Amino acid sequence: MVVADNPPVVQELALDRDCTTLSRHVLQQLQSFSGDAQELSALMNRIGLAAKLISRRLTRAGLLEGALGVTGEVNVQGESVKKMDVYANDVFIAVFKQSGLVCRLASEEMEEPYYIPENCPIGRHTLLYDPIDGSSNVDINLNVGSIFSIRKQEGNDEDGSARDLLQAGHKQIGAGYILYGPSTVLVYSMGHGVHAFTLDPSLGEFILSQENVQVPTHGPIYSVNEGNFWQWEEPIREYIRYVHRHEGYTGRYSGALVGDIHRILFQGGVFLYPGTVKKPEGKLRLLYESAPLAFLMEQAGGRASTGTQDILDVIPERLHARSPLVIGSKEDVALVESFIQDWKRRQEEEAAIAARS
Ligand code: P6P
């Protein structure tokens, strides 16, 4: 008698899991087969295609002429543009052409939103994205990521100003990131929990690897560029001195936001990019970095703030607005905020005393 390696039930479960692709999962999440649900499912599928194309390029970049290094250009952020930045940005544009899904794209790499005319009357979604986040890591083969945010277009944007994008992060319909690491992982939420997919290169599909990810309420990790210590305001310095003097904290910082956030999401702790002397508003961009990650983190039971205001409440004045970011486990974000609140209170008390003297 031949005994199957895996009993039928186990085989069936494994097969069902391998069939839980991105597009199917979105429909399960939305519990609907409506036109809007189908559109979001197809949109996520296109993001998955972009991720596969970028992942393929990254894994072979060291062997491809002209894939690595800088273009010699400077982007709207005033940052040196890597060739991979341009490639990844073009990939996101290419996967949405002739899709009818997305009328506008807004990217860290493009000063103005990019319109896809054939999609515009029908496609009512806008994709905001950072095509390659942490591109300084690309040339040294360390992890990088892509970050995306999905918003509904409001109004007809007749003048092409895309002013309807300048709204709070609560307006996001969905958000996520792709981490290009030892494996390529796509993490997303459509407002019904956070779910992780791993690219199976043998299938060329993202397969569900973890559902309803929950960030621990506290974790040991604090993730910050301590080289900026001299540029921070006093309360942030006080927080760093605190974690230096108390057992149970570990510093981890990769220089690439997506990898640092992924670690916090799964192991707990806090990531900080506070305002600095050179960048008082912080370095990270609100609409396509902080807000989508805040959406995810809150869906996973964590928090994200500027240090004084929830990120999802911040309304940007311009497309490429920056914001300070404190994000991660509820308790750890609250601890950072407590140092800021205490410092502000002491400042007010001292000012009141000075005013009376
Ligand atoms: P710093 C990469 O340039 C990036 O935008 C994020 O991915 C990363 O978290 C941050 O900047 C790193 O900045 O100033 O610490 O090098």
Q: Inform me whether the pLDDT recorded for 293 exceeds 80.
A: yes
CATH of the domain at 194: 3.30.540.10
- Of the three residues 210, 240, 258, the one that is the final residue of a domain is 210
Same domain (yes/no): 26, 169:
yes
- The verdict on residue 70 lying in a domain is yes
Give the CATH number of the domain where residue 351 resides: 3.40.190.80
Specify whether 252 is located in the same domain as 334: yes
> Taking all residues of the chain, what is their mean pLDDT, rounded to a whole number?
93
d(CA 199, CA 222): 28
To the nearest whole percent, how much of the chain has pLDDT over 70? 99
Question: How far is C-alpha 125 from the geometric centre of its chain's CA atoms?
Answer: 18
For a pocket test of ligand 1, which of 277, 283, 320 has the largest count of ligand atoms closer than 8 A to its C-beta? 283
Domain count, the chain: 2
Provide the CB-side half-sphere exposure for 105 (13 A, CA): 27
Q: Is residue 270 part of a domain?
A: yes
Question: How far is ligand 1, taken at its centre, from the CA of residue 260, in Å?
Answer: 10
**Ligand 1 mean position to 273 CA, how many Å?**
8
Print burial letters for 119-138: b (CB count within 10 Å at least 16), e (below 16).
bbeebbbbbbbbbbbbbebb
Is residue 273 located within the same domain as residue 299?
A: yes
Residue 70 has pLDDT above 90, yes or no: no
Ligand 1 atom having least distance to the Cα of 227? 15
256: Cβ below 6 Å to ligand 1?
yes
Check whether residue 249 and residue 322 sit in a common domain: yes
Instruction: Round to whole Å and give the CA distance between 251 and 55.
Output: 28
| 8 located within any domain | no
**Residue located nearest, by CA, to atom 12 of ligand 1:** 255
Check pLDDT > 80 for residue 121.
no
pLDDT tens digit sequence for 221-254: 999 999 999 999 999 999 999 999 999 999 999 9
**In this structure, are 64 and 103 located in the same domain?**
yes
What's the pTM? 0.94
pLDDT in tens, 104-118: 999 999 999 999 998
Of 210, 241, 275, which marks where a domain is finished?
Answer: 210
Q: Is 255 in the pocket of ligand 1 (CB under 6 A)?
A: yes
Atom 15 of ligand 1, nearest CA residue = 225
Identify whether residues 195 and 249 lie together within a single domain: no
Residues 181 and 327 in one domain: no
Residue ranges making up the domain that contains 160: 17-210
CA 112 to ligand 1 center in whole angstroms? 22
